[in-house]
């Protein structure tokens, strides 16, 4: 398991295999999220341009706000029913 040492200034150097796995480059940002008493390290190195079009499905028309609201309400009702049924 890769390890790092904290300096007197509170800095660490991420091991190379961790940087490689996370595709981190100099200048990239890293986010720390606390979950159940542990911290999760998440790279913040994606360009907004890389995200363009990820929700588009070729050949499908865009939903209206009303359609989105209806689908969300339906999904919430199904989740509520599943939770109440103990599934």
Average pLDDT over residues 59-75: 88
Give the residue with greater pLDDT, 9 vs 50: 9
**Residue 63: what pLDDT?**
81
- Whole-number Å distance between alpha carbons of 83 and 87: 6
- Using the predicted structure, report yes or no on whether residue 87 has a pLDDT greater than 80: no
Q: Of 28, 62, 61, 32, whose CA–CA distance to 46 is shortest?
A: 28
Angle at CA of residue 50, ends 71 and 57, nearest 5°? 35
Mean pLDDT over residues 65-72, rounded? 91
pLDDT in tens, 16-52: 999 999 889 898 889 999 999 999 988 887 666 766 6
């Amino acid at each position: 398991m890769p390890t790092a040492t904290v300096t007197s200034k509170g800095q660490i150097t991420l091991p190379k295999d961790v940087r490689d796995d996370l595709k981190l480059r100099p200048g990239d940002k890293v986010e720390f999220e606390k979950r159940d008493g542990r911290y999760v390290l998440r790279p913040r190195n994606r360009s907004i341009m890389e995200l363009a079009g990820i929700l588009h499905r070729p050949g499908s028309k865009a939903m209206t706000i009303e359609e989105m609201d209806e689908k969300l309400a339906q999904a919430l009702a199904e989740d509520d029913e599943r939770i109440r049924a103990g599934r």
